[in-house]
Amino acid sequence: MASNKKLLILPGDGIGPEVVREVRRVIEWMDRRRSVSFDISEGVVGGAALDAEGSPCPDETVAAARAADAVLFGSVGGPKWDSLPFEKRPELGVLRLRKDLGLFANLRPAVVLDPLADASSLKADLVRGLDLMIVRESTGGIYFGEPRGIEIMADGKRRGIDTEVYTEDEIARVARVAFDLARKRRNKVTSVEKANVMQSGRLWRAVVGEIGRAEFPDVELEHMYADNCAMQLCSRPKQFDVILGSNLFGDVLSDLAAALTGSLGMLPSATLGAPDASGRRHALYEPVHGSAPDIAGKGIANPCAQMLSFAMLLRWSFEMEEDAKLIETAVQRVLAGGLRTADIMQTGMARVGTSVMGEAIVREL
Ligand code: ATP
Ligand code: MG
């Protein structure tokens, strides 16, 4: 199968380039198999872009991302840039890309691979086989609503203000992503809000219900208050398939779900935009973890989250389900074979660094 899919790689800072290098090996393997040949370009973002171009997300990077069929993103930030003013922070690199490409749906799977079930939690039975997906709205809600700010009141004291605003279109489009996903999984969506105390929550519940009834009657839909969902995630996480939430609730619940799996170094994510007239949508894939400055340069970072982000990219942007599965299975088999990076180390297993892990995955492929 030939392909001229355009892939933009943005390694970024810290361990980003180290784990992206391992994905490059997988791409070389795909090349050798002649199954595909991508049209790959590489760009700068984050601190690397600040150093090279004076901006955390230069215009050329945004243009390249727009032109690409998918973006594979490493991670940004680090102590070197910590004291810069807000508008020069490396983290703005990814925020600008999300905003400029309209990436409104953040997909964060929380999966516990069998070989890691015992390591991932004190309660292995609780999470063994866990496989859920959180769909978080990522361009609206309380992180962006107006008015916002810190004001001085008449008595000279300060007050902080944030506003949650959601339009029905914003809710509907992210709901459709969640329902679509559920159809490819176990056909269930749990939509979370606080409809009991928030007006935006009331609208959220109403709109998700309408979309579900009108367009996805075959998908089971359950509404749940976000606080209850947090409790249920801790006590009975395997009841969930797809969890749909606002920017704020999705943020909190996806970190909770990540903690259930026990390893940041294993978790991928995708952020999708709206499909254009030709059905093509912008999308960015990145590990859930950050640039891990404490271990950067030591060659010990776990490349699996970046690798699995690439698998998501193949599945969602390039429609290469088979290759995505191959990579996921290879990761699982390497773990089953006993190799571990430091972050997922268990007694009796062999501790290896980033490149040995990457090589083992390619060998398994
Ligand atoms: P950000 O603000 O970008 O989310 P952070 O400082 O909150 O970053 P990380 O950079 O993800 O978080 O690091 C959190 C901890 O997890 C660090 O101790 C780091 O070394 C560890 N860690 C993160 N990613 C990996 C990885 N791929 N392999 C091994 N350890 C990792
Ligand atoms: Mg963090």
pLDDT digits (tens, 9 = 90+) for 94-125: 989 998 999 999 999 999 988 888 765 557 88
pTM: 0.92
Residue 143 designated active-site = yes
**CA distance readout (Å), 361 to 29, 295, 297:** 11, 21, 21
Q: Which atom of ligand 1 is nearest to the CA of 14?
A: 10
Report how far ligand 1's centroid is from the alpha carbon of 99 (Å): 24
Cβ(294) to ligand 1 under 6 A?
yes
Q: Does ligand 1 lie within 6 Å of residue 292's CB atom?
A: yes
Give the residue ranges of the chain where pLDDT is below 70.
1-3, 35, 119-122
Q: What is the pLDDT of residue 36?
A: 75
Cβ atoms 140, 207 nearer than 8 A: no
Catalytic status, residue 227: yes
Quote the pLDDT of residue 347: 87
- Structure confidence at residue 58 (pLDDT): 96
Residue 275's pLDDT is what? 83
Inter-CA distances, 157 with 152, 160, 227, 262, Å: 6, 10, 31, 42
Instruction: State whether residue 242 is helix, strand or coil.
Output: strand
Of 343, 345, 357, the residue with max ligand 1 atoms within 8 A of its CB, to mutate for a pocket test, comes to: 343
Please report the pLDDT score of residue 35 as a whole number: 67
Whether residue 91 is annotated as binding a ligand: the answer is yes
Phi and psi at residue 70, to the nearest 5°: -160, 155
Ligand 1 and 16: CB distance under 6 A? no
Write the single-letter amino acid at 150: I
C-alpha span between 343 and 15 (Å, rounded): 13
Alpha-carbon distance 253 to 245, whole Å? 9
Consult the annotation and say whether 323 binds a ligand.
no
To 5 degrees, how large is the angle CA 4–CA 29–CA 306? 85
